[in-house]
Structure 1
Amino acid sequence: MSAKKNRRAADPGGSVNMSSDIQPTVYDQLIALRNRQRTLQAESPFVIRGADVPWETNPQGIIKWYLHPAMERSCHKALIFSVQKIPPESHSGKQHCQGGVVQYVVQGKGRTVMNEISHPWEAGDVVQLPLLPEGVTFQHFNEDRSKEAVLTACMPNLSEPLGIDRGAGLFQLEAAPEFKAAFRSELPDLKTLQAKLSSDSGKAIPVKIDSPRSTYDHNYARTQEIQQRSRTAKIVVRRDERREEMTRQGRLRYYLNRTVLHDTVLKDWNVFTHELRTRSGKHRHQGGLAIYVVEGKGYTIVEGQRQDWESGDLILLPIQPGGVEHQHFNLNGETPSRWMAYIYKPFHDEVAHGMEQREEAPEFKGSDC
């Protein structure tokens, strides 16, 4: 190729000369993708209205999707987020997949059968699907005779780098009763798969390293520790097991926390509820998280702009240079609003997440903390 065709005229913003006689480079494609992502972020709302998100009935049940790999119009795509409702005395479909999912019980009581073990839950609890080499098989059951069960589900959006199967496969084994279309199991003989996995793992006894001698040994031992935690730690986190804390940001109840709480099967999440009575503290940090409004109404000031929300909405904070300054306000009178925040910490690590407290919540000033 001639020297002329190799030349690029870049402006300070990083755009390039895309004249018809010049073939774009892979770098040009990267800049074009960046520009498209910036445009989508600028045009996408920070609050996804629950009233605008349609319910769909699919083999897994009655679900509405707020964030999904196939959806474009959201200010970030770091997470996959949905809400499922299960009619009284009904159940979800049965699915085999990789875990890594955090579910919050908004209302109702029931149980989740996971790998043939039953895990009871009720409103205010958190249910986790663990990460296991063989994946998990799970199904939710609503045991209330008169009320729907409602559960949120949140997971990191790893569909592009790791694939939908994520090393364990995604198979629909049974359809929910509400799904009226003809259905045939994608994996009619699950026991055959489980037997193969058991056989493969049983061909050799894994070495146990009690005294690591090398970096490899330490990595090996750490992997074994993580898998042991995934198999034996807490699946359901009861609301009453976690204390409410009066913090600089407000009244928080942590269910999962990577830094402090190490008794759960999932280790890389910060998941907490916030009871908002008047206003929260004001702080700045990086976005990429999701906040589901469980009850109440209010607004959030995001970089000086007011974003109103109400029960059933999903609040998003964008990922942008310098992070996002924000503060939450309750408009529910004397009744507190309450929401649940989902933060996948490995993604925060990759955007150099930090925190700056600008103002403290009013209740914190009179507390003993």
Structure 2
Amino acid sequence: MERERVKDLEAIESSVYEQTVRYYQKWSDRQKTGKLLIHGEERDFQASRQGFVKFYLSPLLTDTAVSSWAVFEQLIKRQSGRHNHQGGIIIYVLEGEGLTETNGEVLEWQAGDLLLLPIQPGGCTHQHWNKDPAKGCRWVAFRDMLVAPYIANTIDQVSDTPDLRGAATTLSGGVRRKDWKARVTGEQAPLITHPDELAGANLFDRLLALRDIQRARQAQATWMIRGDELPWETNAHGKMQWFLHPCIAYSAVQTNTFYRQEIPAGSRSGLQRHGGDAVFYILEGDGYTEIDGVRHIWKAGDVMTLPSLATGVIYRHVNTGETPVRLIAMERNLVHTVGVDRHSGFEELQSCPEYRQAKAS
């Protein structure tokens, strides 16, 4: 009898349910103990067929708290390799000027611009060129690794970068997109707001109608956002430019929110309760991010992350230098499904000094 009871206990421990419990516990422990701040000098550029790439975050890097993003820099001397993968990736240009050819269209970009590779049948076959090889150019890219399996993302290398091996190639002479300010349809599929409205409604047809609206919007959407042409807003959290937002419909990628923030010397952002799983790349300046009372000191070229905790996190950025801090921030856009509050609530607990001054004047 005792032997059978021991066997039952062993069976329980090896059950899929118990393994699932341990899986989530291990993930939760990683959020609490993993590295939140990744200094730029901790990661090296590695040679690859696509070019010289430095990964800050990746599911293959297990020392970080956040594992659901791939965040990497690429250095382009002359031109990258050419490869195909599904879209949904966003690229922020850190320095230099260049061109990107994707699926027969050519985008010209410069430092401060955001490139968007759309999610579409067949993915995006693309390659990047540096306009001035004497200076070089560099950008940082963000890939949502939770969305990647959902869109069946794979990477197929078409040709190698001539910066390492392979022959240099030229632009194919595709259509050049010059005006990034696209206007898209604001049409929406009607919502069912009460169960009684289901009678007589054909929801499958509405799904097809929604598909057609999304196709039309994607055909009109912009693949690049010019950072130097975006307005700045001062809100409770700070001075920001919004590149991607749940209320912005004209961008070819809708799976992320993305903004650039500037914090004056000696100042700080607002104090915010947040669900976590956000990524900040420090563009300029020195300071720290305070998360639940703990300071994480950073400088330009570092990546700061927020862990995903059941209670959320309370954080703010502080500029300790004599020049403005500039950073870019990126997180997943699920506000229309999971909600802005998510699991922890979303609140600005204390406004930044500049916003309080503006409200008082």
- TM-score past 0.5 threshold: yes
> In the alignment, is residue 115 of structure 1 matched against residue 103 of structure 2?
yes
What are the residue-to-residue correspondences of 1:199-210 with 2, within 5 Å?
none
How far apart in 2 are the matches of 1:283 and 1:104?
A: 25
Q: CA deviation at 1:28?
A: 1.1
> Given the alignment of the two structures, is residue 237 of structure 1 paired with residue 225 of structure 2, yes or no?
yes
Q: How far off its partner does 1:174 sit? A: 1.1
Q: Secondary structure at the match of 1:280?
A: coil
**Counterpart among 21, 46, 63 of residue 56 in structure 1:** 46
Counterparts of 1:54-203 in structure 2, within 5 Å, are 54-87=44-77, 90-158=78-146, 161-162=149-150, 166-167=151-152, 169-180=154-165
Give the drift of 1:146.
Answer: 2.9
- In the TM superposition, residue 23 of structure 1 has moved relative to its aligned partner by 5.2
Other structure's SS at 1:271 match: strand
After superposition, what is the alpha-carbon deviation per residue over 1:220-266, rounded to whole angstroms, capped at 9, x for unaligned? 1212222333333101101133211001011010001112x111111
Distance in 2, Cα, partners of 1:156 & 1:355: 21
Partner of 1:271: 258
2:334 counterpart SS class: helix
Q: Which moved more, 1:291-300 or 1:347-356?
A: 347-356
Q: How far apart in 2 are the matches of 1:272 and 1:134?
A: 29
Q: Which residue in the other structure is 1:204 paired with? A: none
Q: Name the SS of the counterpart of 1:234 in structure 2.
A: coil
**1:328 equivalent among 317, 330, 336:** 317
Matched letter for residue 276 of structure 1: I
Equivalent in the alignment of 2:20: 30
C-alpha contact 1:130 1:231 (8 A) present in aligned 2: no
Residues of 1 paired with 2:288 and 2:12: CA distance? 49
Q: What is aligned with 1:216?
A: 204
1:274 is paired with a residue whose SS is strand
- Which residue in 2 is equivalent to 1:297? 286
Query: In 1, distance between residues paired with 2:16 and 2:74?
Result: 41
Amino acid at match of 2:222: K
Contact 1:131–1:230 at 8 Å: present in 2 too? Answer: no
Q: Structure 1 residues 368, 147: CA separation in 2 closer, same or farther (over 3 Å shift)?
A: farther
Structure 2, gaps ≥5 residues long? 168-188, 191-199
| Aligned counterparts of 2:128 and 2:269: Cα–Cα separation in 1 | 34
- Quickly say closer, same or farther: Cα 1:57–1:24, change in 2 above 3 A: same
Other-structure match for 2:350: 359
Deviation for aligned residue 1:64: 0.2
Q: What's the C-alpha RMSD, in Å, of the aligned pairs?
A: 2.6
CA contact (8 A) 1:132 1:230 kept: no
Matched residue type, 1:267: Q
Cα 1:160–1:107 shift into 2, 3 Å: closer
SS in 2 for 1:173: strand
CA distance in 1, matches of 2:140, 2:154: 22
Q: Do the aligned residues in 1 keep the contact of 2:36 with 2:64 (CA within 8 Å)?
A: yes
Kept in 2: contact 1:78–1:289 (CA 8 A): no
Q: Which amino acid aligns with 2:164?
A: F
TM-superposed CA distance for 1:74, in Å, is 1.2
Report if the CA contact (8 A) 1:289-1:316 is conserved: yes
TM norm structure 2: 0.83
Deviation at residue 27 of structure 1 after TM alignment: 1.1
3-state SS of 2:280 partner: strand
- What is the Cα deviation at residue 6 of structure 1? 7.5
CA contact (8 A) 1:294 1:340 kept: yes
Partner amino acid, structure 1, of 2:45 = W
Is this contact kept in 1: 2:81–2:158, CA < 8 A? Answer: yes
| Amino acid of the structure 1 residue aligned with 2:225 | V
Unaligned runs of 5+ in 1: 9-19, 184-209
- The one-letter amino acid of 2:5's match is K
- Counterpart in the other structure of 1:307: 296
**1:13-63 CA-partner distances (Å, limit 9, x unpaired):** xxxxxxx68652111101221232233333311101111011101011111
CA distance in 1, matches of 2:81, 2:149: 27
Return the alpha-carbon distance in structure 1 between the equivalents of residues 148 and 252 of structure 2.
24
Match of 1:4 in 2: 5
1:308-337 deviations in Å (ceiling 9; x for gaps): 01111110100001110001101221x101
Maintained 8 Å contact 1:132/1:227: no
AA aligned opposite 1:301 = E
Partner SS, residue 346 of structure 1:
coil
How has the CA–CA distance of structure 1 residues 22 and 117 changed in structure 2, closer, same or farther, with 3 Å as cutoff?
closer
Q: 1:21 to 1:150 in 2, by over 3 A?
A: closer
Q: 1:353–1:226: structure 2 CA closer, same or farther, 3 Å change rule? A: farther
User: Which region of structure 1 is more displaced relative to structure 2, 344-353 or 133-142?
Assistant: 344-353
Structure 1 CA distance, aligned partners of 2:148 and 2:229?
36
% same residue: 27
Distance in 2 (CA, whole Å) between partners of 1:358 and 1:368 is: 16
Aligned length: 324
Match of 1:44 among 18, 27, 34: 34
Residue 176 of structure 1 aligns to a residue whose secondary structure is: coil
